[in-house]
């Protein structure tokens, strides 16, 4: 079953770009160009995700979001904003957006976040033991093992691994990691996350063991069963 995304964006170039990408990724996309129209369609229901631009004609994105939430519509919302400053992002989240993405973004980033929002209900299952191949992470005892080998992880490494495992098979971007683990809503210039990932890789992939964390070019990382 293909999932339905409502795209509310007035900039046609941007909307084309997003709609094409989402279409190729197998989503059914419905588009509208004004806030009023968008709100009308969103209240119709039947969507799995709403991608909402912050600046819209007739009714701005924040108002659309507020009205949707007031009408009891719980569909996940991904907000888009032009050159988002740190404050803008935090405000969008506070107003009830489920995630926030600042323009310009790469399509990979948008896709990763959309995927994360669509799959979210699964996360809420209270799994205490996460696994991938022979890697096991126990959230209750905070232990990680690969096969019979105990892996000593620093607290942040443990969080990072758990975050990746909870999204097994899905792309996790650098900014998603920065936001989730450090609450940093800006992009450091240095490749700090890459370094963290490579340290984590060294710890979980012993000699001869198949690597579990993969780099998805131009997007981020993904932990998945080897094969």
Partner 1 sequence: MLRTATSRLIAAYLALFSLSTALVLGVFTWQSTALIAGETRDVLAAEVEGLAEQYAAGGVLGLAQTIARRLDRAAERDAIYLLTDGYGERITGNLAAWPPTVRAGGAPIELELYRIDSERPVMVAAVAFRLPGGERLLVGRDARARALYERALWQAAIWATGLAALLSLAAGWLLSRFVMGRIGEIRRTASEIVAGDLSRRVPLRGTDDEFDRLNATLNAMLDRIAGLVENLRAVTDSLAHDLRSPLTRLRALTAEFAEPELAPEARERLAVRAQAEAEAMLRQLTALIEISRAEAGVGREAFEPVDLAALAEDAADLYAPAAEDRGVALQLSAAPAEIRGHPQLLAQALSNLLENALRYAPEGSAIRLETGIELGMPVLRVADAGPGIPAAERARVLQRFVTLDPSRGAGSGLGLALVAAIAKLHGARLTLADSRAAADRPRPADCPGLADCPGLDVTLGFPAPQRARIARNSAGPTP
Write out the residues near partner 1 by the rule CB under 8 A: 83, 85-87, 90, 102, 104, 156, 182-192, 195-196, 199
Strands lying side by side in the sheet with 129-132: 129-132, 135-138, 143-146, 149-151
Length of the chain, in residues:
227
Please list, in sequence order, all residues whose beta carbon lies within 8 angstroms of the beta carbon of residue 224, skipping any fewer than 6 positions away: 132, 168, 169, 212, 214
**CA-closest candidate to residue 180, choices 122, 123, 95:** 123
Report the residue number, 103 or 214, with the smaller CB distance to partner 1. 103
Q: Are 18 and 5 in contact (CB under 8 A)?
A: no
What is the closest distance, in whole angstroms, from the C-beta atom of residue 216 to partner 1 in the complex? Answer: 16
What is the closest distance, in whole angstroms, from the C-beta atom of residue 118 to partner 1 in the complex? Answer: 27
Q: Are 200 and 161 in contact (CB under 8 A)?
A: yes
Report the residue number, 102 or 176, with the smaller CB distance to partner 1. 102
Report the residue number, 41 or 107, with the smaller CB distance to partner 1. 107
Other Cβ atoms within 10 Å of 171 Cβ, number: 19
What is the closest distance, in whole angstroms, from the C-beta atom of residue 19 to partner 1 in the complex? Answer: 21
What is the closest distance, in whole angstroms, from the C-beta atom of residue 82 to partner 1 in the complex? Answer: 10
Report the residue number, 124 or 189, with the smaller CB distance to partner 1. 189
CA separation for the pair 191, 178 (Å, rounded): 11
Run of H or E residues at 38: helix 35-44
Report the residue number, 7 or 177, with the smaller CB distance to partner 1. 177
What is the closest distance, in whole angstroms, from the C-beta atom of residue 122 to partner 1 in the complex? Answer: 29
């Amino acid at each position: 079953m293909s999932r339905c995304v409502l795209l509310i964006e007035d900039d046609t170039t941007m909307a084309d770009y997003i709609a094409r990408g989402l279409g190729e990724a197998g989503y059914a996309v419905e588009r509208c160009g004004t806030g009023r129209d968008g709100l009308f369609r969103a209240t119709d229901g039947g969507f799995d995700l709403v991608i909402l631009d912050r600046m819209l004609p007739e009714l701005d994105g924040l108002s659309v979001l507020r009205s949707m939430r007031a009408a009891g519509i719980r569909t996940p919302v991904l907000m888009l904003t032009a050159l988002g400053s740190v404050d803008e992002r935090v405000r969008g989240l506070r107003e009830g957006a489920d995630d926030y993405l600042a323009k310009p973004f790469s399509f990979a980033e948008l896709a990763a976040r959309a995927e994360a929002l669509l799959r979210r209900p699964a996360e809420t299952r209270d799994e205490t033991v996460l696994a991938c191949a022979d890697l096991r992470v126990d959230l209750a005892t905070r232990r990680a093992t690969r096969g019979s080998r105990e892996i000593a992880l620093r607290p942040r490494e443990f969080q990072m691994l758990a975050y990746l495992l909870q999204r097994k098979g899905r792309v996790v971007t650098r900014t998603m990691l920065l936001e989730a683990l450090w609450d940093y809503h800006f992009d450091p210039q240095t490749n700090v996350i890459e370094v963290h990932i490579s340290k984590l890789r060294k710890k979980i992939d012993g000699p001869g063991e198949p690597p579990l964390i993969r780099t998805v070019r131009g997007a981020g990382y993904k932990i998945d069963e080897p094969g």
